[in-house]
Amino acid sequence: MTKALYTGSFDPLTNGHMNIIERAARLYDELTVGIIENPHKLALFTLEEREEMMRETLKDFDNVKVDHFSGLLANYVNENKFDVVVRGLRATMDFEYEIQMAQMNARLFDSSVETVFLMTDPKYSFISSSVVKEVHQLGGCIDGLVPDSILDYIKRSAK
């Protein structure tokens, strides 16, 4: 059984993330979405809110689990015996950061853990949590950029 991990801040979860989750869930037996708790990053949503939104949005995916972690990604991977870490890659803007992280993690992972990159669907290549957050906070429309469940949550919590 191949256990895969997809990590991120997911503040908020976007349709770009959803596309990667759907594809990774088809590729691997079990996919864990690991939400990072980063106390140094100013977040729109608390970890608890992000986790609640994620569970609600992914409730119909039979082989997808939701979890959170803090500290080194490699420690979380080694402790939970994941086989694969999935990352989404948009344009060249992601590449430099991602290759550095993948190569550093390769030193820290227990043997045979691979970082696998899925190229973003071009429909979503301009979407990032930061841009979605900024547009929303400045009163712009984010319909179609995040799952409807997230939109409902944002509207309910009036963030």
Q: Which of 28, 12, 105 is nearest to 61 (CA)?
A: 28
Which positions ≥6 away from 90 have C-beta within 8 Å? 16, 120, 124, 125, 126, 128
The answer to whether residue 14 forms part of the interface with ligand PNS (CB under 6 A) is: no
Contact 11, 133 (CB under 8 A): yes
The answer to whether residue 93 forms part of the interface with ligand PNS (CB under 6 A) is: no
- Return the residue of 20, 25, 33, 36 that touches ligand PNS, per CB under 6 A: 36
Q: How far is the CB of 81 from ligand PNS (least distance, A)?
A: 17
**Rounded CA gap, 66 and 59, in Å?**
10
Contact 131, 15 (CB under 8 A): no
- Return the residue of 3, 8, 78, 118 that touches ligand PNS, per CB under 6 A: 8
Binding pattern to ligand PNS, positions 96-115, x when CB under 6 A? -----x--xx----------
- Return the residue of 27, 72, 91, 135 that touches ligand PNS, per CB under 6 A: 72
Of 9, 50, 87, 90, catalytic? 90
Backbone angles phi, psi at 118, to 5 degrees: -105, 125
* Residues binding ligand PNS (CB under 6 A): 7-9, 36, 72-74, 101, 104-105
